[in-house]
Amino acid sequence: MEVYFDNAATTRVLDQVKDVVVEAMTVDYGNPAAKHRKGMEAEQYIRTARSRIAKTLKVTEKEILFTSGGSESNNTALIGAALANRRAGSHIITTNIEHPSVYNTLAFLEESGFSVTYLAVDRNGHISLEELRETVREDTILVSVMYVNNEVGAVEEPEEISRVIKEKNPRTLFHVDAIQAYGKYSIRPRRQGIDLLSVSGHKIHGPKGVGFLYIRDGVKIKPLIYGGGQQGGMRSGTENVPGVAGLGVAAEEVYRNHEMKVAQMIELKDYMTDCLESLDGVTVNSKRGRESAPQIVSASFAGVRSEVLLHALEDKGIYVSSGSACSSHHPGVSGTLKGIGLPAGLLDSTLRFSFGLFNTKGEIDYCMDVLKELLPVLRKYRPRR
């Protein structure tokens, strides 16, 4: 039996997505910048995808910029906004549990002369709105806070965060990394006061290598890629037509019967939480119900190294993660787990289980049977230090 519980890392594409990607690659394969019919056919895929995505956010089509994925969207938002607004100030605010594509991008900006304040989070992964209010200054040009934490599923309230920011400094831009939130929440950037919003296709059963950045009309940002002037000069280079087409279909599908899909994931999350907490020496770091993201369960297994347990589960056909797959080739202690105050003895004993549209309760039952078999053995033979 194969069980895939690593959907926060990537997802299996929907059949509808696969079909449109193949069609754009093999039938309507023209360059969208070409003036002939083949080019216009390819361009229509981009127009259709942009329209589909804009409708899910209730924004205008011109506010959607296609990128190569979440990391580029975050880089474009942060570097582009910082460079475009440097005359207004050089202070940026973020949290200490951001994704590497935010954290490392801000480290680059610090090296370039910007100053960055990193807000701490509480045990539930939430920032203090009062601390945020005190931190926003006259020269604060940008605040970046992720909507859903990719490791433990902690959820921030962007509308409340934006209100605090704008009351203190209306000129400060608010960027939201929504890579784990898009498709799981009804997101309305204008109502929620979001100026920039990053999304990745392969987290929502779309293709890898494609994403988008919402840029509120009127927000100034500098492009990072120069060339032929595609996408209004904001991102030059021939568009990834098959990827964009697939992303558009995935976005539309993930929001079809949305509440039902979210409720099903919450049911799975709560069921797995109950099962895990019934095991000896297991601590669940995610909240039940709607207090955390519907697709993520983080659990710590006392006395077992996460990498050892991960591969033991893999041998049984169960795929999970020991942290963010986007940074798995850079070993080290998770900044998120440290940030929420997880005891030192559990930092290297934590796994992430994450759900998608294809998971079932039967898969959870199988996983629990395997864990009950593995944990006593792995704890018994744990090397002494």
Of residues 271, 242, 264, 221, the one with CA closest to residue 63: 221
SS3 state of residue 155 = strand
- For 294, the token pair is 């519907």
Q: Which domains does the chain have, with CATH numbers?
A: 3-11+257-380 (3.90.1150.10), 15-254 (3.40.640.10)
Give residue 242's pLDDT band: very low, low, confident or very high (50, 70, 90). very high
At residue 338, the pLDDT reads: 85
Owner of token pair 């449109």: 20
Report which DSSP code applies to 382. Answer: P
Q: Calculate mean pLDDT across residues 292-310.
A: 96
Active site residue: 59, 148, 326, 367, which one?
326
At residue 324, the pLDDT reads: 44
Give residue 384's pLDDT band: very low, low, confident or very high (50, 70, 90). low
Q: Calculate mean pLDDT across residues 170-182.
A: 98
Sequence-separated (6 or more) residues with CB below 8 Å from residue 150: 8, 99, 179, 180, 296, 324, 326, 336
Q: Calculate mean pLDDT across residues 74-102.
A: 97
Q: Calculate mean pLDDT across residues 165-177.
A: 98
Of residues 40, 46, 32, 14, the one with CA closest to residue 212: 46
Percent share of the chain, pLDDT over 70: 96
d(CA 157, CA 179): 15
d(CA 185, CA 67): 21
At residue 330, the pLDDT reads: 44
Give residue 257's pLDDT band: very low, low, confident or very high (50, 70, 90). very high
CA–CA distance from 180 to each of 15, 154, 199 (Å)? 21, 10, 8
Q: Is it the case that residue 385 has pLDDT exceeding 90?
A: no
Q: What is the pTM of this model?
A: 0.95
d(CA 241, CA 46): 6
Chain mean pLDDT for the chain: 95
Q: Calculate mean pLDDT across residues 306-333.
A: 78
Q: Is it the case that residue 325 has pLDDT exceeding 60?
A: no
Q: What is the pLDDT of residues 326-373, one digit of tens each?
A: 544 444 567 788 888 888 888 989 999 999 999 999 999 999 999 999
Q: What is the pLDDT of residues 121-163, one digit of tens each?
A: 999 999 999 999 999 999 999 999 999 999 999 999 999 999 9
Residue scoring higher pLDDT (331 or 254): 254
Q: Is 326 a catalytic residue?
A: yes
Q: Is residue 110 a contact partner of residue 79, using CB atoms and an 8 Å limit?
A: no
At residue 380, the pLDDT reads: 87
